[in-house]
Chain A
Amino acid sequence: MTVEPGGATTAAPHTYEALQPDQPGGLVQLLTPEGERMEHPDYPLDLTAAAIRDMYRDLVLVRRIDTEAISLQRQGELGIWASLLGQEAAQIGSGRALNPDDMVFPTYREHGVAWCRGIDPVKLLELYRGVSHGGWDPKEHKFHLYTIVIGSQTLHATGYAMGIQRDGALDGDRGEAVIVYFGDGATSQGDVNEAFVWASVFNAPVVFFCQNNQWAISEPLEKQSRIPLYQRARGFGFPGLRVDGNDVLACYAVTKKALQAAREGQGPTLIEAFTYRMGAHTTTDDPTRYRLASELEVWKLKDPIERVRAYLVRTGQAEPEFFAAVDAEAVQVGARVREACRTMADPPPLSIFENVYAEPTAILREEREQYAAYLDSFEEAGR
């Protein structure tokens, strides 16, 4: 793991261009924006062509799902959508690095990680359509519910990791670890800093995966930190590193290694995935009010999908038929998500009263009965 020596206290070089991989504190990068494969001494990676093609497929499909969801929101089928556009590599790379028993604590934007955990994208839409607060069973997928309050889930992840320790489930490859996602804005939250303290002093097996997408709604990174975010870890006493968040291979490699370290009892790691939110914060946001279009154009050149495609083509690891098949599958997945969303039924009114407590209280039963009778009175009146 790389811990930056020395204490940089001046404003950091926060641009991608200033973070050349060969510089101290530079990005861990295994695939350049042009699709050129790089080697890194700390992160040797030997993936098969099939595995890289699978990641390419993941990237394309989750982007398609995201695009579909934005359209559904525009057409009134979803109340809101938080787009992952631009962050596909950070999510697929880290998501594919997980073992089946590892536990994930997401924010509300981890659609790519959800995909890696086998969650039907339609389930994600339930939350944004207002049909449920989360449609999947967190235990079945080892993927917790989306957390909307910023940073709260970092403490849940740390506590869960403390449970792994108490269960004696730290056992190298066969062991379990936790990964928790959050953004650059979240690093200012008390809960995130408390989670760092807890994870550090208890040496908890948790990987803090920060997607630094440069923007917390309208606030640029400079409003959150004067030092690079990965350097925060040093003050808490555990390793931090910065990875090219648009490089799926690098995200995979650094996450794999950090999770393995956690499973071997080496405690937490902070990964700062340096990426860019190419879309709006959510469909209610208007980024033209606070950032320049030219910034987006620069980041388009570092697109997380294009570089994988370029690499596969250049090295002859994928034929045109492969790309055509992925594109066709994306169309199919999009159509299925669209249809499922449009036909998704509202829950019955009286389900409001379910699952507040293990058993309904007398007061809840009374309210439910009164409201049921009230609803019935309309039916009787209509007869």
Chain B
Amino acid sequence: MTTLTLSKALNAGLRKAMENDPKVLIMGEDVGKLGGVFRVTDGLQKDFGEDRVIDTPLAESGIVGTAIGLALRGYRPVCEIQFDGFVYPAVDQIVSQLAKMRYRSRGAISLPVTIRIPCGGGIGAVEHHSESPEVLFAHTAGLRVVACADAADAFAMIQHSISCDDPVIFFEPKRRYWDKAEVDTVSGAANALPLDRAKVALDGTDVTLLAYGPLVRTCLESALAARQGGPGPGGPGNGHSIEVIDLRSLSPLDMETITASVRRTGRCVVAHEAPVYAGLGAEIAARVTEQCFYHLEAPVLRVGGFATPYPPSRLEEHYLPDLDRILDAVDRTFGY
């Protein structure tokens, strides 16, 4: 076991993937000498050369479009999009080209391209640097969409994404890049959960709290605070035993793990930074309602961003779901 930040764990995972398969390439803006603006690719160009760690011209559609061409030639490119809000110029290449190629070719073509996107807010950034566009991609058939929440998963999930024969949109919680955790860098990827499985991050009995990416930590903190709140009304979370599930895979959703939990707890809250309106929580709420109808004690509630653009950073603490807003939603599920 090694203690690593999430950013270093991704770096170690990328390094492993490049060592294991000479077809793995890294491409993006500033990924070479600089090591990326978050240093996720630090040192990789020095060790693997400019042909495998490619500083690209500054154009996101070009990054993804040429990655598709390289994948057609048998490579496994890992693209870095510098910030969430910069992915939109690449949306045609991702949605119309990358996602559909296997289908269009009736299985003749695989495009094993991974697109890494630092996502979410909470770092006091200027606009276009704090967004959560995951649902755009989750809505697109042919893409796998995943989000890591901690260093150990980051190390394993980036390797699983690269070895996956489907295109993967890989969301990284940028405000958690510096969070440390124990990472098994020897057998971590081999022993990790498959890419399309959710995991129970904290066991509980009263309510199921679903999150992914940056809000997993917030939800774990909420669950611990609720328990410390003690039994009876008044304390935060009212002493409820909250089960926290880290979704990990946003498309496809691991409904088996979700419904197994909700059938036990009878209550479900979904939290994400993205706007609640037409967000991933809506899909989960609909499916949980359909599949767990007779087990539910309350409607599935959602906590998330407002139906607004991302606000100036001095207001982001109001926009981002925090411990209190999450526990408020948990409490409300007991009001039915």
Contact = CB atoms under 8 A, between A and B. Distances in A.
Contacts, number: 134
B75 to A, nearest CB: 6
Q: How large is the interface on B (under 10, 10 to 19, 20 to 34, 35 or more residues)?
A: 35 or more
A162 B56 CA distance: 12
A144 B72 contact: yes
B59 interface: yes
Given A149-B96, A191-B61, A361-B196, A159 B70 contact: yes
Given A138-B105, A356-B103, A362-B255, A152 B73 contact: no
Contact of A159 (B68, B92, B105, B107): B68
A363 B255 contact: yes
A358 B165 CA distance: 6
Contacts of A195: 62, 65-66
A164 interface: yes
A167 B110 CA distance: 19
Interface in A172-197: 190-191, 194-195, 197
B252 A159 contact: no
B263 to A, nearest CB: 17
B67 interface: yes
Contact of B97 (A134, A152, A158): A152
B166 A166 contact: no
A158 B107 contact: no
A61 interface: no
Grouping DSSP codes into helix (H, G, I), strand (E, B) and loop, the A interface class, with mixed when no group exceeds half, is helix
Nearest to A152: B97
Nearest to B256: A362
A275 to B, nearest CB: 26
Given A133-B103, A201-B57, A159 B65 contact: yes
B47 interface: no
A190 B89 contact: yes
B105 A134 contact: yes
Given A133-B103, A364-B252, 8 more contacts: A138-B108, A145-B104, A152-B93, A152-B96, A159-B70, A160-B69, A162-B69, A363-B252
27 contacts: A144-B72, A149-B96, A152-B93, A152-B97, A156-B68, A159-B67, A162-B73, A166-B70, A190-B61, A190-B89, A191-B92, A194-B59, A194-B62, A194-B65, A195-B66, A197-B62, A201-B57, A354-B107, A355-B106, A355-B107, A356-B141, A357-B102, A357-B144, A358-B165, A362-B252, A363-B253, A363-B255
B133 to A, nearest CB: 19
Interface in B220-260: 252-253, 255-256
Contact of B57 (A159, A161, A164, A194): A194
B214 interface: no
Interface string B160-174: 000011100000000
Tell me which of B61, B68, B73, B105 has the highest count of chain A C-beta atoms within 10 A of its own C-beta: B73
A6 B276 CA distance: 57
Nearest to A132: B106
Given A149-B97, A194-B59, A201-B57, A354 B106 contact: yes
